[in-house]
Amino acid sequence: MLFDKFQEMAGFQANLADREVKPFGAVTEQILSATTGIVEGKEVILAGTNNYLGLSYDERCIAAAETALRRWGTGTTGSRLANGSFAEHEALEREIADFYGLNHAIVFSTGFSATMGMCATLAGPGDTILLDADSHASIYAGVNLSGANILRFKHNNPDDLAKRLRRLGDDTKRTLIIAEGIYSMYGDIAPLQEIAAVKREYGGYLFLDEAHSMGCLGASGRGAAQAAGVEDDIDFYAGTFSKSLGSIGGFCVSRHAELEAIRFCIRAYIFTASSSPSVIASTREALRIIRAEPERQDKLWSNAHRLYDGLKALGLPVGPAASPVIAVEMADHSATIDCWKALFDGGVYVNLVVPPASPSTNYLLRNSVSAAHTTEQIDTIIRAYAALVDAGLAKTEQAA
C-alpha cells in the first residue's frame, strides 16, 4: 500500500494523543513578549524558538513591517524573475552583502530554500560534494537533487575531511565542501580554523551555513567564520532570517561574481514567490539593529552560559560547551516525552527532537536561548529541570 511507510509515524502520533501530549505542532494562541506566550492554552516561557537576539517582537522591526505593508501591500504574487523583485529585495541584498563585506548576495523566501537551492545548484554531475555527516535536512535535500557524487565526512572531523580530499586528487577543483557554523541540534561549533586549513592544503570550495551562528558569533555578528578568523577561506555563506533576525527568509553571499549567474539557475529561487515586502522591511531593520547593538550578543552568551552551567550542575547530559542551543540528551523516548510534558506543565516550552531529526538514535530536549530572556526566566528553566531530576524523570550522567 502507498501509505504503509507512514504507519510508524501514525502510531507515534496516536501514542502522543493517548498520553495527551502535543510536543509537535503545539499551537501558540498568543505572543506576550519575545520570550513568553500562550501555547495550547498555557502561559509558558518560550525556550525553543531560536529567537536568539529577541528581535521578533522588537517595536522597531514591527514598525518597519507596518510601514512597508502600507506602501507595498501584503505580497508580491510572483517570483523574483517574474514580477516579484521589489526595491526592498534589492536593498536587503546590498545590505546583507555589505554586512559580510562582500559584493554579491541573493535573498530567498525561506532559509530552507536558500541552503537547499544553493546545494542543489553549485555542484552537479561530474562534481563532488563533501558534507559534514550531521548537516541539516535542507542541505541533504539539496545535495540529493544535485546529481553530484556525494561523500560524507565525520562530524566536525577535519582529519576525516582531509583524508577524503586526498583521495580525490585533482578532482578537488570540482569539489564543494559543506559545513555549518553552529549545528542546530547539539549547538556544537564547527572547528573552522582546522577545516579552512584543510581546504587551503587540498583545494575545493567551502560552503558554510551560518543559520544558527549569524548574529550569535563574531565581533560584528557575522558568525562562526568571523569568530574563527577564516572569512577569507569561505566561498559561499548561506543563512536564514528566521533565527537572529526574527523574521523569515534566507540568503547566500559570496565574493564570487559567478553568484549573479548562479542566481538564474536555482530552481528554488526561480519558481518561488518572493518574500512579502513587510518581511523584508523587518529583516532590514533587524540587520541594522544587530550592527548597532552588539551588546545583544553579549547578553545572549551570558544567558547561554547561565543555562548551560545550571543544567550541567544538575548532572544532566548536555554538550561539551555552552551555546545558544543547549540539548539534554536522553536514550528512552517514553521518558523524554514525560520530561517534555512535565516541563510544559511547569511553564517551560522546549523542543522535543526525535530520530531521525536528532543526529543519533537518542532523543533530545532542545533548549534555545535568547538575549531577551531575563535572568529570572533562565533560573526558572533551570528549576524546571531540577524538578525533573528530583522526580526521577530525568537521569543524570552520574546515575547513568
Give kind and range of the element (H or E) at residue 178.
strand 175-180
Closest alpha carbon to 181 in 218, 232, 128, 138 = 218
Q: Does some domain include residue 398?
A: no
Structural domain contains residue 304: yes
Asked if residue 188 and residue 74 are part of one domain, the reply reads yes
| β-bridge pairing 348-349 and 42-46 | parallel
Q: Which residue has the cell 567564520?
A: 225
Same domain, 346 and 204: no
- Out of 235, 269, 292, a domain closes at 292
- One domain, residues 385 and 236: no
User: Which residue among 292, 327, 344 closes a domain?
Assistant: 292
CATH of the domain at 351: 3.90.1150.10
CATH of the domain at 131: 3.40.640.10
Within this chain, do residues 120 and 16 fall inside the same structural domain, yes or no? no
The pLDDT of residue 397 is 66
Residue 263 lies in a domain: yes
Q: What pLDDT is attached to residue 156?
A: 97
What is the pLDDT tens value at each position of the chain, 400 positions in all? Answer: 899 988 988 887 888 888 888 888 889 999 999 999 999 999 999 999 999 999 999 999 999 999 999 999 999 999 999 999 999 999 999 999 999 999 999 999 999 999 999 999 999 999 999 999 999 999 999 999 999 999 999 999 999 999 999 999 999 999 999 999 999 988 899 999 999 999 999 999 999 999 999 999 999 999 999 999 999 999 999 999 999 999 999 999 999 999 999 999 999 999 999 999 999 999 999 999 999 999 999 999 999 999 999 999 999 999 889 999 999 998 888 888 999 999 999 999 999 988 776 777 788 999 999 999 999 999 999 999 999 998 787 777 654 4
Kindly state the cell numbers that stand for 105.
548576495
Domains identified in the chain, total number: 2
* Cell numbers placing 11: 502510531
Same domain, 248 and 331: no
Measured between alpha carbons, how far is 223 from 217 in angstroms, rounded to an integer? 4
Q: Of 292, 320, 354, at which residue does a domain stop?
A: 292
Interior angle at CA 328, CA 42 and CA 114, nearest 5 = 80
Phi, psi of 284 (to 5 degrees): -60, -40
**Dihedral angle over CA of 161, 186, 206, 253, nearest 10:** 180
Q: For residue 398, what pLDDT is reported?
A: 53
Q: Looking at the structure, tell me whether residues 162 and 191 fall in a common domain.
A: yes
Structural domain containing residue 23: 4-57+294-390
Residue 9: predicted pLDDT: 83
Cα-trace Rg, the chain: 21
Q: pLDDT of 335-344, one tens digit each?
A: 889 999 999 9
68 and 27 share one domain: no
- Residues 170, 243: Cα–Cα separation, whole Å: 38
Domain-located, residue 397: no
On whether residue 314 sits in a domain, the answer given is yes
pLDDT computed for residue 400 by the predictor: 47
Same domain, 22 and 105: no
The answer on 136 and 270 residing in a single domain is: yes
- Same domain, residue pair 41 and 126: no
Quote the CA–CA distance of 77 and 89 in Å, as a whole number. Answer: 14
Helix (H) or strand (E) holding 130: strand 128-132
Q: How far is CA 167 from the centre of its chain?
A: 31
What is the reported pLDDT for 286?
Answer: 98
How many residues in total does the chain contain?
400
| pLDDT tens per residue across span 206-218 | 999 999 999 999 9
